[in-house]
Amino acid sequence: MKKQKIIVALGSILFFLSCATNPFTGKQTLALVPNSQILPAAFAQYSQVLEESKVVKGTSDAQMITRVGQKIAKAAERWLNANGHQGYLKDYKWEYNLIDDDVVNAWAMPGGKIAFYTGILPIAKTETGIAAIMGHEVVHAIANHGQQRMSAGQIQQVAGVAASVAVSGQKEETQQIVGTAFGLGSQFGVMLPFSRSHETEADKIGLTLMAIAGYNPDEAAELWKRMKANSGGQAPPEFMSTHPSNDTRIANLTAWAPAAKAEAKKFGVTTFK
């Protein structure tokens, strides 16, 4: 029991002493792994992915990815500067690449490293569709979602050790039951909802960034209607997924679009592409 208390106490200390502030929400977020460690590792991993992939260069699609990315990043900088976060992006090294692959995906790494796959272009359909995806990915990078997930994983490990110590003197069958219960509980009760909250946050704030960049946020809901059609409507139940369901996203994006337009008007944007 003494060991368990020590482990839990150490985890609590790590939690309270290792927090950052989300610039968009003002909420405290986990930051057990500092950017001084995360960013160099992310940049190196991104370079490795590019080396191992067929990167599309010089085409109109590749140029569009870069153009949209630069506009969204500039919109993010404008919003941050206007809301008291000058210099927040000083360590970011923005890069946008298009990879020739049929997978329907795009992703962002900490520090502003973003990749799109050619498989998502037909679903994005237009430059505004690309902007909806890009806004989402840029928010993942700026809101430090990667850092938070790594930190949450560390806390999950500490909690798992504590659970193991707590039943170390019990029968092997009891230890197995507790281990299984902890694994399922932490996955479906903590880690997956944690990931879904990041996706929802990136959807909502991404709308604002694309609007400030001059893109119509109404297109985001249309994009996800196409995503749903492309998946054939087949998806795991929301509680078993790292992402909200398609229907949830469509409803949310539709509801949030007017507020995104209103925020963009504060920056002088009154017409949208």
Distance CA 132, CA 209 (A): 9
CA atoms within 13 A on the CB side of 201: 22
Is 137 in the active site?
A: yes
Taking the CA atoms of the chain, what radius of gyration do you get in angstroms? 21
Q: Which two tokens mark 90?
A: 């000083």
Which among 51, 52, 77, 137 is annotated as catalytic? 137
Query: How far apart (Å, rounded) are the C-alpha atoms in residues 239 and 30?
Result: 22
Q: Give CA–CA dist 91/69, Å, rounded.
A: 17
Residue holding tokens 């001059």?
Answer: 214
**Which tokens sit at 210?**
């694309």
Active site residues: 137
